[in-house]
Structures are given as structure tokens and as C-alpha cells.
Structure 1
Amino acid sequence: MSFVVFAGPKSTDLAWETAKYLNAEQGKIEKRRFPDGEMYLKLDSQVKGKESVVVSSLREDGDILELLFLLDLLKDSGSTQVHAVIPYLAYQRQDKRFTPNEALTLKTLLTLIHEVSDSITVVNAHFLDAAGEYNFHNIPLKNLDATSLIVEYFKNKIRKPIVISPDKGAVATAKYAAELLNCSFDSLSKKRISGEEVVIKPKNLTVEGHDVIILDDIISTGGTLLTSAQIIRGWKPNSINVGCVHGLFMKGVEPFQGVVERIVATNTVVNPLAKVSVAPLIASSLK
């Protein structure tokens, strides 16, 4: 199978690392802006009779347009298959209408990508429960799970692990990570005492003397996770370790300093804590 791998504007290093795992050619495009700000793309690689892969995390609306233009260009240029690999998917928390008459933005986005590609692969999409193949409003999706890569990062750095889920949405991830580490897992229980006071504690286990691992799919501002870590600190753990797949860190990484011993993210999004690469995971899914 002959692949040509192209990089989106937010995923250059990840795309080229994926190409290396696939023993694939790095695709070249000429890209510039017209004086009025519109985008110009020109293909500088031969893709006819080959499979094309575009690795592109979507952080901004401009990233979406560039991805759509490039996917369509590759189809028009004779690629046998065009694969959209989107490590971080924009609008993934808008997978349903929370109030009447809202735009179902994620459906619109994926419909457009589906029209100009042969497959769509995402990594730890917030609206999907586990790794596997899904059908979202008649749009086929493959969801990859990077949890095992994060667990592997922590494996040789801690001695007495316990995995804690910061909320009910991350319980399945915590359970899976605990299975990989052969350790216990728990989730935080919130009990409202009054209008102002909420007590947070582990549901079943004690964390004293353990190396706590808190896992989540996305850290955006990090507020909820920081609150959880500060509370866990009072229970006398040996260490607090935080891992996430998508490290947005909208308020920077400084708030975590002095609160946790270790914090790590993958490189689905460029960030200063991206110490775990999803390139082998992506490459394996394409072979």
C-alpha cells in the first residue's frame, strides 16, 4: 500500500512522524493567500494511483476550510483513497442540540468532511464512548483511544498507582487504565451539604500513600481537574499525576505547577506538555 501523507497547519510534526511510521512520502503543497485574504492551494506531489492521508487537527475555523479544500483537491488529482485523520476534532462537544433551534455544528462539519473523503479517523472524540467504528448521523467514523499510550508513559514513573476519575464521564477511561496498570480505580463523589458547600471524596477507596493518576480526554481551562487535584492533595497521596489526550490549556500550564507532580498530554494538539505521541496509533489504524 503506497501512502502520501499531508500535514494540516496545526499538525505538521505529527503528520511527518506518522509518515515515518508508515514509511510514506511526505506530501507537498504550495499554500499562500491572495491579497483579499482568500486561500490558494496547489499540489506539488504526485498522488495519482496512491492513497492520500491528511493529518490535521482542527482548532480554528480556518483549519476546517483548508482541510476541506485539500481533501477535495486530492480526490480531483486521482488519489485512490483519501483519508481524513483528525487528531483533535473541532466542535466535538456540540454533538447534540442542548436547546431548541441550535445548530448541530458537529453534524454539519462531519457531513462536509465526509463528502470529500473516503474515511474519517478521530482520536478520543468527546462524544464517543470507546475506540471503535461508529455511525454518527450516517457518517462513518473511526475513533482511536490513546489511553494506553498515556498509561505507558506513567508506568515506570510510579510505584503504587490508583486511577481516579474526576467525574462520571471519565469512569470508563479510568477503569480501562486501571486494568492496564493492574491496579484499583475510583471516582470522585460530590455531595452537596448546603447552597455553598460541596463535599468531594472518593466513593470507595483510600488514596493515602498511593500514586494517584487522574485521566481525562480534554483539559480546556483545567478548572475542574485542578479543584479535584487540590482536594486529593489533602488525602495524603504519595503523588498526583495527571494525563489527558487533548491538552488545550486555555489558561496555560502554570496553574498546575505545585499542585501535581506530573502532567502529560499527547500531541493531538501542540502544547508544552505533549510528551506522548499518537503517531504510532494513527499509523497502525491505517495499515
Structure 2
Amino acid sequence: MTETYKDTYFRVFSLNSNRPLAEELAEEIGVSLGEAEITRFEDGEIRINIEESIRGSDIYLVQSTNHPSNEYLMELLIMTDALRRASAKTINAVIPYYGYARQDRKERPRESITAKLVANMLATAGVDRVVTLDLHSPQIQGFFDIPVDHLSATALLANHLLNHQLADHQTVVVSPDHAGVSRVREMATLLDAPIAIIDKRSSEFDEKADLRVIGDVKGKTCVLFDDLIDTGDTMVQACRTLKKAGATDVYACATHPVLSGNAMEKLEQSGLKKVIITNTIDLSHKKSNRMIEQISVAGLLGDALKRIHEHKSVKPLFDKAYVGTLEKTEQEKKASDL
């Protein structure tokens, strides 16, 4: 494609984890994806060669670190080293989904705080800045000694719910556990809705958890909101609990579709009306599912990268009215393609 972004030293490269998002992001900004060859030796070692000069350029390197997380993390580290040795001016790691984020503290003796270890590895490899979305714990930003732009897809998801009439005055936003309450409050504020919490209690002598609902959900439409969906078990159990408490329709909403194993099948049989997620993780290799609705973060990331490059504030990207224009633009693009 023809490059349109005004700064020719603004370069976007993609590794293997989510090339469709990287391509969409590059198109959103108006640049071509950089050329790099990623190959493997017979024993599985990764080899990367950058096939164009990037001397003096500001590089934005797109790579989520979802499954296979170790492979994708090594790709990111090796590419960062190659860019540094090729005299890039700055290396900005755009990590839509930051893997290992759930290992952000020691829950038991003699455990690693792996989220901190990954932060150290990125900085040591030569990353100058990290751009990411909806970290499992916001305090992970403090693990880095380099700038971190922690973006949120909450307003984007809230606008999608409103624009598609999936949320109204009868909606309750539900946290599937106590840990996600602050996240749910943010969504509830954007939807002008009350909140509820799934209270999970279990005895050390009884592995079967007792799930109860804190809040009024009877006759209400519930939106279960979390940062990610992995095995799907949490959403499935929460949905059943809400239905028992009298909820009418239950939607699941999350930023990161980790969807390990047979999670999609579990969600399909759970009683959920719809599952709304973003494209921080590429699902093109998975079997399509009609109840899964995926919205793009390319517009949000694209504007963020331009603002970072031009030394402008990214604060407006958290505003509901602003993010609503991004989704409108996406809808206009789809209409023009038909």
C-alpha cells in the first residue's frame, strides 16, 4: 500500500502472533508493514532477519504473547535485539495481550513473579516503551523501568453494547469475582448501570464452591465483564448462578479471548446469549462460532501510536464519546466494502 503517514521514520513491524491485527493497524495509520523474515532451524530455534533498513527509525513492533506464549515471547525478544543492532532509534513493543500477567505476585512460597521477570527481559533486550491493553493487574505497569502506555478497551466495549442495543436501563454489569470489581465499576459508569458481584465461597475441606449473587439481578439483563476468558469455566458458572437468581439474558464481555482448550464449546452450551470480545488475540485458526462477536482494537491502537509518536496525550482515548467514533468508523468501513 502507499504510505500516507507524514513521518517516514514511523515503522510498524509484525511478528507471528497476530498479523491480521497488525495489518489492520498499519492500514489504520497509513503505513506499510515492515519486511522481516522469521524462520526456524530444525531444532526449533528462531531466526529473524530484518529485510530493510530501519536505521534512525521509531519502530512499533506488534506481538501478543498468548499461546504458544514462550514461542511468541522469544520472537519478540529476538526481534527486539535485531532491531537494536540495526540501529533503530526507538523500539516500542505493542503487546495487545500481555501473557504471564496472572503471575503478578507470590501466592505461595518459592514461586516466581513471572510478570516482573518478563518485564525485565523486555527492557534488557532493548525495548524502550510498552503499549498494551487491559493488563490483568494495573500495578504490572510498576514492574517496568521504562514507559508503559496502558490502554483500555472498556469504553470500546461499552459503546458496542450501547450501539447494538445490548444494554439499557434494565442492565446490570456483573463481576465474576471480587477481584474484578473496579473493572466492572468502570464499565457500569459508562453504561449508567448498577453492578453485581458473584461471591465465590469454598471450604478447604470441600472443593465444590458455593456461588452467590451480591446485588439485584432478578428480571435484569446481565453483562458479565472481565479482562479475559481462558477456559470459560468462570463465565459458565457465573451465567448459571445469575440464571438461578432470576436474570433474564446474560452476556459475557471481555477484552482478551484466550479461549484455551474447548472453551468455545463450553461457552456455546452455557446459556450465554452472546460473548463479546476484542481481537487482541487472533482467533482466525479457531472454528467460527456465531455466539462470539469480535470487535477490533486497531482504531484505538492506531490513534494511540500516532499520539505517542507525536508526543501527545493518550488520555482522550479513554473517553466513551471518543471511542464511539472509532466504532462508527469501523461500521462505515464495513458498509463501504459491501
For normalisation by structure 1, the TM-score amounts to 0.90
CA distance in 2, matches of 1:68, 1:109: 10
Structure ranking higher in strand proportion: 1
What's the counterpart of residue 286 of structure 1? Answer: 305
Cα RMSD, aligned residues only: 2.3
Consecutive unaligned residues in structure 2, runs of 5 or more? 1-6, 307-338
Match of 2:241 in 1: 231
CA distance in 1, matches of 2:73, 2:196: 38
Looking at structure 1, the residues matched to 219 and 272 of structure 2 have their Cα atoms a distance apart, in angstroms, of: 15
Letter in structure 1 aligned against 2:280: T
Q: Indicate whether 1:82 and 2:87 are aligned.
A: no
Which of the numbers 26, 31, 43 marks the counterpart of 1:19? Answer: 26
Greater CA deviation, 116-125 or 36-45? 36-45
Distance (whole Å) between structure 2 residues aligned to residue 192 and residue 10 of structure 1: 37
- Residue-by-residue CA offset, 1:116-141 (whole Å, 9 max, x unaligned): 11101221111216xxx933153542
Structure-2 residue corresponding to 1:183:
193
Query: What is the rounded CA distance, in whole Å, between the counterparts of 2:63 and 2:202 in structure 1?
Result: 42
State how far apart, in whole Å, the 1-side matches of 2:154 and 2:24 are.
Answer: 19
Partner SS, residue 264 of structure 1: strand
Aligned in 2, Cα 1:235/1:99: closer, same or farther, shift over 3 Å? Answer: closer
Q: Which of 154, 159, 167 is the matching residue for 1:152? A: 159
Change (3 A) 1:193 1:126: closer
Q: Normalising by the residue count of structure 2, what TM-score does the alignment of the two structures yield? A: 0.77
Candidates 109, 115, 122, aligned match of 2:118: 109
**2:50 matches 1:43:** yes
Give 1:39's aligned amino acid. Answer: I
Q: Please tell me whether residue 92 in structure 1 is matched to residue 109 in structure 2.
A: no
Return the letter of the residue paired with 2:61: V
Cα distance, 1:195–1:42 mapped onto 2, change above 3 Å: closer
Give the direction of change, closer, same or farther, for the CA distance of 1:25–1:263 in structure 2 (3 Å limit). Answer: same
Does the 8 Å contact 2:104/2:113 carry over to 1? yes
Conserved 8 A contact 1:110-1:139: no
SS at match of 2:263: coil
Change (3 A) 1:199 1:62: closer
* Match of residue 267, structure 2, among 235, 256, 264: 256
Query: Take 1:91 and 1:252, find their aligned partners in 2: how far apart are those partners?
Result: 19
Conserved? CA contact 1:220–1:249, under 8 Å? yes
Counterpart contact for 1:151–1:177, Cα < 8 Å: yes
| Residue matched to 1:70 | 79
Cα shift readout 1:80-114 (whole Å, capped 9, x = no counterpart): 21100111112111122223332332222111111
Sequence identity percentage: 25
The alpha-carbon deviation at position 253 of structure 1 amounts to 0.8
SS of the residue corresponding to residue 229 of structure 1 reads helix
Q: Deviations over 1:161-201 (max 9, x none)?
A: 21111111111111111111111112123466996576533
CA distance in 2, matches of 1:193, 1:104: 27
Query: Once the 2 structures are TM-superposed, how far is the Cα of residue 209 of structure 1 from its aligned partner?
Result: 2.6
- In the alignment, which of 241, 247, 253 is matched to residue 243 of structure 1? 253
- Higher fraction of helix: 2
Q: Secondary structure at the match of 1:25?
A: coil
Query: Are the equivalent residues in 1 in contact too, given 2:177–2:200 (CA < 8 A)?
Result: no
* Alignment check: 8 A CA contact 1:5 1:16 kept: no
Report the counterpart of residue 275 of structure 1 in structure 2.
Answer: 294
